[in-house]
Amino acid sequence: MDYEILFSDETMNYADAGTYCQSRGMALVSSAMRDSTMVKAILAFTEVKGHDYWVGADNLQDGAYNFLWNDGVSLPTDSDLWSPNEPSNPQSWQLCVQIWSKYNLLDDVGCGGARRVICEKELDD
C-alpha cells in the first residue's frame, strides 16, 4: 500500500487534529504506522523535527488499556512503537496517543494539548 503523508506545522488538540485531516480528504495517521517501511520514514521525519505529533490512536471508546487505531485495529500495549514505560496512565485521563519527541515513539497523553498533526491518505495502486 502506498500513502500520501501530511505533516502539519500547526498545533491543535486531538479532536481538531482529526477534523484538520478530514478537511483535507485524509485521516490521522494509523494504517501507515503499521507498515514497517512507512513507520520508519515517519519516525525519521519526526526525529529530525523534534516536535510532538498526534497519531490516529486512542482509547476513548473502550477505555483502560484498549488502545485502537482510528481504523479499528488494536494497538497492543506491548508494541515496539511505545516509548519506554508507556502507556503509563490510560485508565484515567491519558486517552490519546502522540509521537513523543523525547523518545520519538508513542506515548499516551491527555487529548486537549496542542500538538502537530500527521495525516494519511491511502493511495490506489
**Burial (Cβ within 10 Å: 0-12, 13-18, ≥19) of residue 33:** buried
Model confidence pLDDT, tens digit, residues 48-106: 999 999 999 999 876 667 899 999 999 999 999 999 999 987 567 789 999 999 999 99
What would the CATH number be for the domain defined by 2-123?
3.10.100.10
Domain edges within the chain: 2-123
CA dist., res. 24 & res. 43, Å (int): 22
Please tell me the pTM assigned to this model. 0.93
User: H or E stretch including 109?
Assistant: strand 105-109
